[in-house]
A and B are shown apart, each in its own frame.
Chain A
Amino acid sequence: MELDADAIDAMRELINIGVGRAAGMLNEITKCPIILQVPSIRIESLEKLSGTTDENAPSLSTVSLHFRGPMSGVAALVFPPKSAALLVSLMTREGEDAQDLDIMRIETLKEVGNIIINAVMGSIANVLEQHLKYSLPNYQEIRIAALAQSLKKTADKRVVLANAHFHLEGTTIDGNILLILEIGSMDALLEGITRMTPRD
């Protein structure tokens, strides 16, 4: 199936519903006002995104979750490592000087990623009207290409890439939510979206 503008809009809506719920939960946990926005999503080719031919492509701080079912793949929250450390430092009120990811901050980042990815996957599962099976979330500093290679089947050449903006403590931190799907899974998602979208 083709990904037309309506499908992309609907997908953006789904992700926004998820991150809206996640932001509410993060506000409650951290007691600090956090605004989480997904202003745009786009479909990128996996090759372009992962820099598969570039051995020097940077590793990113990634909290990822594999899922299986009518739709299979990996969902990930991705940051440059310094941005990830800054996000955690601001959420835990440790100050902007704490700019490295030690084991405790990685645990915290995993929880933040867990909340956001769970909320997004919750929205998507609702559309599919079927349950998915999920792995435990995992933290890695990894290149996108390596993340795609962790799929059991070959990844679809198209990757859903959502820009995620975190606004807190007067600072904006940019990250990305990635949805790398196995071949065939994108169609399942689009079918679900089509079912959900009201017809003229």
Chain B
Amino acid sequence: MPPEEIPDADWTQYDMLPVGIIVIRSDYSILFWNDCIADWTGMSASEMIGTNLLQRFPNMNKNVIKGRIDLVFDGGPAAIFSPQFHPHIILANHPNGNLRFQSTKVVPHSAIGELTAMIVIEDVTDIFNQTHKYRELKNVAEKELEERKRAEAEMSRLASIVESSDDAIISKNLDGIITSWNYGAELLFGYAVWEAIGKNVSFLSPADQAEEYLEILQQIKNGNHISHFQTKRVTADRRILDISLTVSPIFDTQGQIIGASSIARDITEAQRMDEALRLANKKLNMLSSITRHDIINQLMALRAYIHLIREEIHDPKPIGFIEKADQIANTIGDQVEFTRAYQDVGVKSPVWQQIPAVITEAILPLQQSGICVDLSGLKPLEIFADPLLQRVFYNLVENAQRHGEHVTFIRFWHEERIEGLVIICEDDGVGVPMEFKEKIFRREYFKHTGFGMYLAREILSLTGITILETGEPDKGARFEMLVPKGAWK
């Protein structure tokens, strides 16, 4: 039926709706085209009515659309076309320039005495776009939530580490007001958390160090980190503790320093033990010194008597015995000398020492020998070693002079290798025969070269430094000292 024959009263109501409405016959000829769809498509009702919908919109001629509309004409239920699967059933532009997203329903309808289908199209462009924005925001929020949960779990883990630590861990703001106080702090200082939080950290300092915290906080404000600072603190029961303090800045999310966290470790007992050890060493050294003095006195007397006997006796047989007794006396003398040298090894704590300065100092007494000592291959590096390090270099140079026979120069330099820093001492003397390369570092070898190399190895080994002789025999001696990583800078 031509459109002009359809009574107006049946259709005008659909022109007022804000949805696109198309009524089609079972042959897909358009029976009605409302104002809304005309507005969206720019195709007027007079232009569309009577034409075939599938020819106008060939995209609808697919089984997934037409096949389902056909079922509606067969008496089936309404068909729904969702915007995710069928976003643009009727191609129509949105004012934003893109195609309108549509939610479409095809419902059975009855008009002009036959079964027709009404296609109802809702513009869901704004809902579609808002949903996508919402999804993006939700994804971001979920990721942030996930991150936050992870961070909270990490914080909880760290908090539990702090809380269960034996060390006192305290945080304070930049005014020194305590903001956190762990169980270790309660145990160490004897104050409960509620007693400590809110107080100024100076309440833990002895009266004569009450201002110390200000200097520490100033260091923190300057972005510095304080490691193993030894100080004293007072407990709730007025005991004075020796404390090793490590203090680090606390940053806010913008990277600004807002406070400091400190880890305090009680070293009172360790200090006492150090002191006891030092006293014991002192006593041992004193005993050793007295004993050595007495033995040397006795040895002098023994040698004097041997000398007198040698003058009185002319029979070659007892003279041979006397010579042997004299040799034994000399050996005893050497061994006593060794105790003098060895008693100081390891007594004092290792320290950082600048190598060229230490060598220069060490060789001062040996400079009259005419041997050229070249230190130009050494940078001013520092190594962590026993304070007797100078003795090591003295022994190396002195040995070269004494046993190198024709040494004219001694050269020191260093190399950085994967395993650490290697300090090399090389001369142009006779070198060390293959069979003695290791023996020279043994104590029993003193008969040939003294205790020098044995002592050198002992001194170096205290901080993990090794020494080897690696020179070519007849071409000069070469000693390599390997300083492990972390023991040089």
The residues of A with any CB-CB pair to B shorter than 8 Å are 25, 28-30, 65, 67, 88, 92, 98, 100, 102-105, 107-108, 110-111, 114-115, 117-118, 121-122, 125, 131-132, 134, 136-137
Does residue B107 face the partner (Cβ distance < 8 Å to A)?
A: yes
B85, A121: Cβ atoms under 8 Å? no
> Secondary structure at chain B's binding surface: helix, strand, loop or mixed?
mixed
* A30 CB, nearest partner CB in chain B, Å: 7
Does residue B81 face the partner (Cβ distance < 8 Å to A)?
A: yes
- Whether A103 contacts B131 in the complex (CB less than 8 A), given A122-B71, A136-B105, comes out as yes
A108, B105: Cβ atoms under 8 Å? no
Does residue B78 face the partner (Cβ distance < 8 Å to A)?
A: yes
Stretch at the interface among B61-69, B90-98, B268-276, B379-387: B61-69
Q: Which residues of chain B are within 8 angstroms of A121 by Cβ–Cβ distance?
A: 76-77
Task: Name the contact of B80 in the complex, choosing from A25, A92, A122, A137 (C-beta under 8 A).
Answer: A137
A110, B75: Cβ atoms under 8 Å? no
Most buried by A among B63, B64, B80: B80
Does residue B127 face the partner (Cβ distance < 8 Å to A)?
A: yes
Q: How large is the interface on B (under 10, 10 to 19, 20 to 34, 35 or more residues)?
A: 20 to 34
Report, nearest first, the 5 A-B pairs whose CB atoms are least far apart: A134-B77, A111-B82, A107-B82, A131-B75, A114-B80
Q: Which residues of chain A are within 8 angstroms of B64 by Cβ–Cβ distance?
A: 25, 28-29
Q: Which residues of chain B are within 8 angstroms of A65 by Cβ–Cβ distance?
A: 77
5 CB-based A-B contacts, threshold 8 Å? A28-B63, A65-B77, A122-B76, A125-B75, A137-B80
* B230 CB, nearest partner CB in chain A, Å: 55
Q: What is the CA–CA distance of A67 and B135 in the complex, to the nearest angstrom?
A: 35
Does residue B134 face the partner (Cβ distance < 8 Å to A)?
A: yes
Residues of B225-277 whose CB lies within 8 A of A? none
Residues of B40-77 whose CB lies within 8 A of A? 62-64, 67-68, 71, 75-77
Q: Which residues of chain B are within 8 angstroms of A104 by Cβ–Cβ distance?
A: 82-84, 127-128, 131
* A121 CB, nearest partner CB in chain B, Å: 6
B84, A108: Cβ atoms under 8 Å? yes
Does residue B182 face the partner (Cβ distance < 8 Å to A)?
A: no
* B308 CB, nearest partner CB in chain A, Å: 105
**Nearest-CB residue, chain A, relative to B130:** A103
A115, B76: Cβ atoms under 8 Å? no
B84, A117: Cβ atoms under 8 Å? no
Q: Which residues of chain B are within 8 angstroms of A131 by Cβ–Cβ distance?
A: 75
